[in-house]
Structure 1
Amino acid sequence: MKKRIISPLIPEHQPLVIAGPCSAETEEQVLETAKALKQDQRVNVFRAGVWKPRTRPGSFEGNGSKALPWLQRVKTEVGLPVAIEVANVKHVYEALKAGIDILWIGARTSANPFAVQEIAEALAGVDIPVLVKNPVNPDVALWLGALERLEKKGIKDLGAIHRGVSQFEKSTLRNKPAWQMAIKFREEVPTIPIINDPSHITGNRELIGSIAQTALDLNFDGLMIETHPNPDEAWSDASQQVTPEQLSCILDQLIIRTDETPYTVQKNIDELRNSINYIDDQILELLQFRMNVALNIARFKKENNMTIFQAERWNELLLKNKAKGEKLGLTPTFVSKVYRTIHQESIDNQGKIFSDVINV
């Protein structure tokens, strides 16, 4: 199925690039940024935060409707389509009245089905592209649900924005990328474009390029990168914004992959994939064999009045396999995840033996 295209300005074999400041601070700042971005023909859409609800009150929360005429000037004088975030029905009405080209729904709003439903109803019958950021928590169903609510109200030009998920632990990244979440989304709805937001994932302008490259390597359809003429003086999220010149440098360094490969290259990769397929078959057969052994162990435990879970045995097994995996070049985290999943399935199956649910 052909993907829905958010903007007719996307060059062939190039990612959609949405850029602009985190917040529309002043009319001068908005126009200065837009004019600088216009110099790079790879920038397709200008973005700016108009309503900026912050995590805690007291910091700059945007200029609101006052900033909408500034974006109108970007459209008419600079010639870039404009995009803003909307979080409620009032925002939607004011954005439509101002002729905003693209709307996006933020991560906090997409986590609230009631808010998304109200926005969808306000947009019923309106022909405008709408992008939905993934919720702050790693819930693909909630993300998909937000898009489905919009689709049911007749919004056909939809896109997704992947901005990572919140994390409690301190990290070099502001948000956990949760790439698997985006991959799962792509599997569920392959026709809806996904745009990566490396600014919010990193929270650090120095790391934006590497995250953006990873997104393109995963076949994302575009990037949304916060850009400001003087990032260190920005009124919000200063550390994650880049100058227009820095944005151009980031785009220069990105490698644009393609899924259209010459015959000889395709033949070579097909051979490697056949090897993967063979290995996967072996893994599945070994897992089946292992589960059958676990069922025999369960019968032995039941006959001898032993508990299903043996903590000492499990800890010994996990430590041994993590150490062996590390010698083979596998990270302890990866080995732990694999064996915890296998062990849980084994525990579940042994539980069925104990309750006589199955008898195989």
Structure 2
Amino acid sequence: MKNAKLVGKSDLNKKSVVRLNERLSIGDRDILIIGGPCTVESQAQMDTIAQQLTGSIQALRGGVYKPRTSPYAFQGMGTNGIEILARTSRASGLPVVTEVMAIQQIETLANQVDMLQVGSRNMQNFDLLKALGEVDKPVLLKRGLAATIEEFIMAAEYIVSHGNPNVVLCERGIRSFDNYTRNVLDLGAVSALKHLTHLPVIVDPSHAAGRRELIGDLSRAAIACGADGLIIECHPEPDQSVSDAQQALSLPAMAQLVESLRPIATAVGRHLPLSPVQNPALMAA
């Protein structure tokens, strides 16, 4: 990986820590859990998630611009969704992560959210990557569904080479011949990325599995193999989600999953912050 001059790990002990806000970071001892729906649907939906999962998750996710395979599928709430995310973040104190799909969306989103996500379909949208390199905002870069590890690393290099060092890599599964799962989660890539780069690496088990019953096992395996965090889809009423309903966890299931990660994090020398004492979702399970 000689061409990865900036994100490549020249020193075996080098490790970057990306700050999400003044109190949260990714890549240090603490594991970061990001949870929320595939798509922002309403203020009530986001408030419920924040209220019930504060203490289990450290950040909220929610799409407001959605790249969909069908042009007739729900494309997200756009600016109304951004306002919902911003209000939820202010009320809960949870930072928010959302996807940016186009250069013209960057400024508005960067003023309202804490981390900009580049989705799988845009991993090699090089003009978008260059533009994000000029923004003082952390970027969550997802692996393309058929991207090699080298292509993934060089996509991160585009962002960093244009001035933004705050990049977090996300393994979210790659396309295979088998259609039982939505994608195949490549945990070998997580280990490889930790050896090849100094960037933090998190895992998205929701898009990898596409089936909610598999998400817990994949999440635990991800932490065991060295992931710095997880981004997981959850919803107050999973079967009513307007997109990706089959892979969304209920809020009690999400809280229980986080609890199951604690001994694994400890075993690999990591820590899960914000103990969910009096967590309504966990108590309701």
User: Where on the TM-score scale, by shorter chain, does this alignment land: which range?
Assistant: 0.7 to 0.9
Contact (CA 8 Å) 1:164, 1:178: kept in 2 or not? yes
Q: How does 1:148-227 map to 2 (within 5 A)?
A: 148-171=157-180, 173-189=181-197, 191-227=198-234
Q: Which residue of 2 aligns with 1:145?
A: 154
Q: For the residues of structure 2 that align with 1:5 and 1:121, how far apart are their CA atoms?
A: 19
Partner Cα distance (1:184, 1:260) in 2: 19
Contact in 1 for aligned 2:35/2:59 (Cα 8 Å): yes
Shift of 1:55: 1.4
Give the match for residue 66 of structure 2. Answer: 52
Cα deviation, residue 170, structure 1? 2.1
**Which amino acid in structure 2 is aligned with residue 94 of structure 1?**
T
Partner of 2:131: 122
**How far, CA to CA, are the matches of 2:121 and 2:92 in structure 1?**
31
Structure 1: gaps spanning 5 or more residues = 262-360
After superposition, what is the alpha-carbon deviation per residue over 1:112-165, rounded to whole angstroms, capped at 9, x for unaligned?
2xx2x3223333443211110011104112111111010011111111111011
Letter in 2 for 1:200: H
Matched, 1:106 2:119: yes
Give the conservation status (yes or no) of the 8 Å contact 1:217–1:257.
Answer: no
Matched to 1:29, the amino acid is Q
CA drift of 1:219 comes to 0.8
SS in structure 2 of the partner of residue 77 of structure 1? helix
Instruction: Letter of the 1:63 partner, please give it.
Output: M
Q: Tell me if the contact between 1:138 and 1:181 (Cα under 8 Å) persists in the aligned partners.
A: no
Higher relative contact order (CA 8 A, sep 6+): 2
Task: Report the counterpart of residue 275 of structure 2 in structure 1.
Answer: none
Deviation at 1:257, TM superposition (A): 4.2
Q: Structure 1's 169 and 69: CA in aligned 2 closer, same or farther, altered over 3 A?
A: same
SS at 2:164's partner residue? coil
| 1:107/1:125 CA distance change after superposition, 3 Å | closer
Match of 2:49 in 1: 33
- For the pair shown, the structure with the greater C-alpha radius of gyration is 1
| AA in 2 matched with 1:181 | A
**1:183 Cα deviation after fit:** 2.5
Q: Give yes or no for contact 2:205–2:232 (8 Å, CA) kept in 1.
A: yes
**Helix, strand or coil for the counterpart of 2:265?**
coil
Distance 1:65 1:155 in 2: 25
Q: Tell me how far apart the structure 2 counterparts of residues 64 and 239 of structure 1 sit (CA, whole Å).
A: 23
Distance 1:207 1:143, change over 3 A: same
User: Which of 68, 71, 78 is the equivalent residue of 2:82?
Assistant: 68
Contact 1:10 / 1:44 at 8 angstroms: preserved in 2?
Answer: no
Identity over aligned pairs, percent? 31
State the TM-score, normalized to the length of structure 2: 0.83
Q: Which amino acid aligns with 1:252?
A: E
Match of 2:24 in 1: 9
3-state SS of 1:256 partner: helix
Q: 1:83–1:100: 8 Å Cα contact kept in structure 2?
A: yes
The answer (yes or no) to whether the contact 1:93–1:122 under 8 Å persists in 2 is: no
Q: Which residue of 1 aligns with 2:244?
A: 237
Distance 1:22 1:256 in 2: 26
Check the 8 A contact 1:17/1:43 in 2, yes or no: yes
Are the aligned partners of 1:13 and 1:258 in contact in 2 as well (CA < 8 Å)?
no
Q: 1:107 to 1:124 in 2, by over 3 A?
A: closer
Using the alignment, how far apart are the partners of 2:193 and 2:70 within structure 1?
A: 30
| Amino acid of the structure 2 residue aligned with 1:233 | Q
The Cα RMSD (Å) is 1.9
Q: Distance in 1 between matches of 2:32 and 2:216?
A: 15
CA contact (8 A) 2:133 2:160 kept: no
- Normalising by structure 1, we get a TM-score of 0.66
**Structure 2 counterpart of 1:130, which letter?**
V
User: How many Å apart are 1:258 and its aligned residue?
Assistant: 4.5
Give the equivalent residue in structure 1 for 2:281. none
Equivalent pair of 1:147/1:158 in contact (CA under 8 Å): yes
SS of residue in 1 equivalent to 2:214: helix
SS of equivalent to 1:200: helix
| Equivalent pair of 1:31/1:70 in contact (CA under 8 Å) | no
